A and B are shown apart, each in its own frame.
Chain A
Amino acid sequence: MSGAWQFYISTLLIYLGVDVMACWGLNLQFGYAGLVNFSFIIFQAAGAYTAAVLTLGRPTPADFQTYVGGAHWPFPLPFLAAAVAGALLAAGVGAIGLRRLRADYEAMVMLVVSLIATSVVTNATGLVNGANGLDLVPPPLLGVVHLGPLAYQWFYVGLTAALCLLVYLVVHRITGSPLGRSLRAMRENEPAAAALGRNVTQLRLAAFVVGGAIAGLSGAVLVQFLSAWSPGAWLYPETFVYFTAVIVGGSGNNLGAAVGALLVPVAFLEAVRFLPPFGPPGLIDAIQWIVIGLLAMVFLWFWPRGIVPERRRRFPRRIPSRSAADGPAR
């Protein structure tokens, strides 16, 4: 296999890892807790900006980009900080947006939050360099591992895979625990869960914050690979790609979310690049967004549980034990 093909395939694998992580974060919020977070992409962006700023160093007056803060933190601190940034932002947004709002209203507020975030970051140029975004973000551990470009890229694939595994263990642990059962109960019937003594506000916020932290981590992995990040990379439609992935793969199922990440943001969006150009410029891109929307609608209509449906959990019926004193069965 040629070097160019290896670069391409390894790039896709890194994107797959990032998307799988993001889909697991969204699945925790949407699939398990039933939160319609249309601002999901801003948590990934927050993580990306945090990791970038914490590796770029302090801006100098001669620098072509301006941003707040700046440090040269060693790996893995920028990744951890990105997860914390995603969590803190989620806590802030969730504390306001989740307390009283539900369903449609919650979705509307989240969508507006996403639009506001893009507008603020684009126009407050001193924050993270506005529309131009941040560039020349140094890759992690490059000076430590001493690898050539191709070998380093495969190393980064391994690093992404390791972080994916870590995220999987976290979400698997949560969804398989009593907390996961409470989240599902809340999703299915919130008043009933509250009546059984569950603090639903706390549960919703917990799912929102953990999902935000995972999104932040995925953003850090992406920005350290790309070495650049700008508002164009996290416009609100990107959230709908992740939603479609979770719906297609199977919400409420971590394997389903991973399958959705493979099929929608990676396979489908990448397959579009291979279409021969036709029609006016931008037509293929527009069709792609239409197909993403149709895909979500078709699956919600015909296969609402997705390709890998959520496992129906059945509890064994308690059968009273019979003792010898009861006598023989008749």
Chain B
Amino acid sequence: MKMLLRYKQKADYKFLRQLTAISCVVCLLVIAVGCERDIDQNFSVNEDLPIGLYLESRPNDFSLWIEALKETDLYNAFNVGGTYTAFVPDNDAMTAFMQEHGKSQVSDFDKEYLKEVVKYHTLNTKFMHTNFIEGYIPDTTFTGDKLITKYGDAGINSIYVNDEALIVEKDIEVINGVAHKIDKVLTVVTESLYEQIKKDETLTLFAEALEKTGWSDFLSEMDKNNLKFYTILGVSNDVFAANGVNSFQDLANKYSDIGNYKDAKDSLNMFVGYHILNGGLSYGDLSTFPTENKKRNVLTAVEGELATVSEENQEILFNDDEELNYKVELNTENMNNLAKNGVYHVIKQEMPVYTPKPTEIVWVLTEDNPEISGLPFYRDGLDNSSRSINEVDVERIKWKITPMTEGAGISYDQRFNMTKPGPNSPVTCEVNPSDFIRFYTAEKNGWIELRPPTIVKGKYKVYLGIINAPGRATFQTFVDGQKGPIYNHGWWAAGYQDKDLGTYTFGKTEEHVIKLSYIKGWIFQLHHIRFEPVE
């Protein structure tokens, strides 16, 4: 029976998704009756059902969530194709949620609000529990929010979502994704970073500084259509006190030079703004490094000012400078605090504006571009695979060919045993198979434009980190519009080859553009771009 059912349902899937909800339910009844025994056992048929139908097959656990899905007209969406991750509160969690809101039944909720809640629990990428780290889940929910996972004291049996809901049953694989049962309805975080910090009683002085310098407005701005994420490194009252700062006035006396705190040129204003990093960087993001030396730069909200993030003795440090004997440590006891527009951590020292020395920067095309690292097949380990990303709009990688010929395209590729650096390349890929971006065209009218993130001003040698390919494209290279050497993509033995594009002096801390104009079209495979400081 079991065998038959599995076989049949696989075949029926396409047909199933075309059915209306009602016929789905009829269908479910047949299935549910047919394999009641199976569902009770460890090896259920859930992998052959879509999420909605599967949840409905377990009314004791999920009937209230199903009601919420139906109430908000999202039930059908859960039964069509996709690769969802659904955090599903069980009935106890839903009952508590209703009580908390003074509702006696699910239908008493405002429909729009309930819809937000359901969407907040659902992501468009499939994440098994093994994907959860100490930090952000690497995709946003259907409300555009980021969720955070955290580990308690019992390993995989103590994974919490948003520090409030425990995953009590994980990895329920269904045909259109995966469900994780949780013991509490997630509170939809709507508060801005500033509002969250204001609530943190260890950060009252820091909150006051944000307000008096006007950064509070910056952090409260939340454009619904273009939500920008930030990371705050908050300084606790204790840390300020240890530095002799007991009031805002002390802080102003210590840092302000022109006295107008809201002026972007005032050094107190800069001091405060320097504690805001661009982008949402949870602990998991802060502790991810592109290179072995475990150091990278991040942009702060103060224009042109960077901070370094590095790892030393298993700790995350900011602006670690051995010469100056100076570093800022992350307080892991108070980190990954969630807000609508980002995350805040607490640091163990004040963090005055610091100009990092030019340091080697390796921009890895795959892992350093969220549009690529968020792809469902990202690092799935399929050897020798090539997946088209023609449709993916990557902010920092542009590619244009005229005319666009058949077969031409840009793809995400993986290949085994390419992890060792080849000639001239110090870069080691952490994953095997290693991944890279492949550009292919037979045409010669076109270009590739690459825009690595901001680097500190200074003199650098610039390298293209390429992967060997059977066939070669030829380019005229440009760095910030300055003509570089002609580059001929050749065939090397193995590993990466770092191709020297010349030495450039960047007068400002800003972003740079590397442009490759085709002289001859063919295959071009790029892993990274590397900036090596020159003394």
Does B bind A? no
Q: Which residues of A contact B (CB under 8 A)?
A: none
